[in-house]
Amino acid sequence: MSRLEKFFELNIPVIEYQEVIACTNKSLFNQKIFLKRALDPIMICLIEECFKVKILITKVQRKNWLRASNVQFSPVKINKFIITSSFFANSVKQDKYSLTIDASLAFGTGHHYSTKFCLELIQELKKMQINPLTIIDVGCGTGILAIAVAKLFGSRVIAVDNDIHSVELTKRNIIVNKVMRHVKVYRSSGLTGNHLKSRAKYDLIVANILFNPIKSLMRSFIQNLSNSGFLILSGLTIKQARQLKEISKQFGLKVLVERKEANWASLLLTKTVPKRAIKLSY
């Protein structure tokens, strides 16, 4: 999906708006791309063949799609958090747990199960009286999770994404939500970007991305997770979550909580530290 997005950015200079929608009942994504003029049939055939996708062309009325995306994301309440776009912000009572999130070209508004589960799981940590001091949000999208953990725990948070649109949008959203002192945003494809310390230890790592990137990052997650630290993995189908639970055991991780609904799943795991053997003398 990311390769297809990059292809359109570099080769189709008439894009007006992109929107990515995760299907609720299967491990698929729909990518809507609004163009100022139609693609020619040869280009369509090439894209379908090279990226193994199916293109459906529909003529739609011209409008401001960025504004429309914010309008369609009506307010949603997830336990303590109330998430709105800037379009609805003035009509919703604001408190310390209110999140004003504009999606634009990035993923993460709280309406999809993957983000909803993450917001529930970080609140589970709060209920357990866990207060992580160092946190990283890998694949931050709109910055919704980084902003949420900053407001919930008041801790230092690093947000990273490999997409420049997401990085810039997260920077805007942390200003709107007044958490600039807590959240730092960098462009990175993992936990070892130019601004990140490769040996840094995090009390909480959140990764709401996709199955394959999570698998490839698992080793670095373990290396950068503090002793008895916590890991939230999301963006998974139920089958993929089952596979990751088996992989996690091999890395010495224990599943504390699992969220499942409509074929989507998220995991809250903790790093288990082997107890030292104690030699007794008589």
User: Is the confidence at residue 17, as pLDDT, over 50?
Assistant: no
- HSE toward the beta carbon, residue 124, CA cutoff 13 A: 19
For the ranges 12-21, 41-50, 202-211, 241-250, the lowest mean pLDDT is seen at: 12-21
pLDDT number for residue 256: 95
pLDDT tens for residues 229-274?
999 999 999 999 999 999 999 989 999 999 999 889 999 999 875 5
- Mean of the per-residue pLDDT values of the chain: 80
Greater confidence, 240 or 197?
240
Task: Give the model's pLDDT for residue 273.
Answer: 58
Question: Which of helix, strand or coil describes residue 124?
Answer: helix
- The residue extents of the domains of the chain are 2-62, 110-271
Sheet holding 76-78, edge to edge: 76-78, 81-84, 98-100
DSSP annotation of 39: P
- The conformation of residue 106, written as its DSSP 8-state character, comes to S
Region 105-126: what's the mean pLDDT? 81
Does residue 159 contact residue 175 with C-beta atoms inside 8 Å?
no
The residue with greater pLDDT, 212 or 277, is 212
Residue for token digits 């990273």?
160
Provide the percentage of residues in the chain whose pLDDT is more than 90.
44
Q: What are the DSSP calls for 145-169, one per residue?
A: HHHHHHHHH--EEEEEES-HHHHHH
Q: Which residues pair with 205 in a beta bridge?
A: 136, 231
Task: Please tell me the predicted confidence (pLDDT) of residue 195.
Answer: 75
- Of the listed ranges 170-184, 204-218, 267-281, the least confidently predicted one is 267-281
* Two structure tokens written together for 193: 């970007």
DSSP secondary structure string, 51-107?
Answer: HT------------HHHHHHHHS--EEETTEEEE-TTTGGGS---TTEEE---TTS-
What is 110-271's CATH topology?
Rossmann fold (3.40.50)
The pLDDT of 53-66, averaged and rounded, is 68
d(Cα 89, Cα 177) in Å, to the nearest integer?
11
pLDDT at res. 226: 94
User: What tens digit of pLDDT does each residue of 70-106 get?
Assistant: 445 667 889 999 888 766 555 566 678 989 887 654 4
Q: Which residues contact 137 (CB under 8 A, 6 or more apart)?
A: 143, 145, 146, 149, 157, 158, 159, 160, 206, 208
* In the chain, % of residues over pLDDT 70: 72
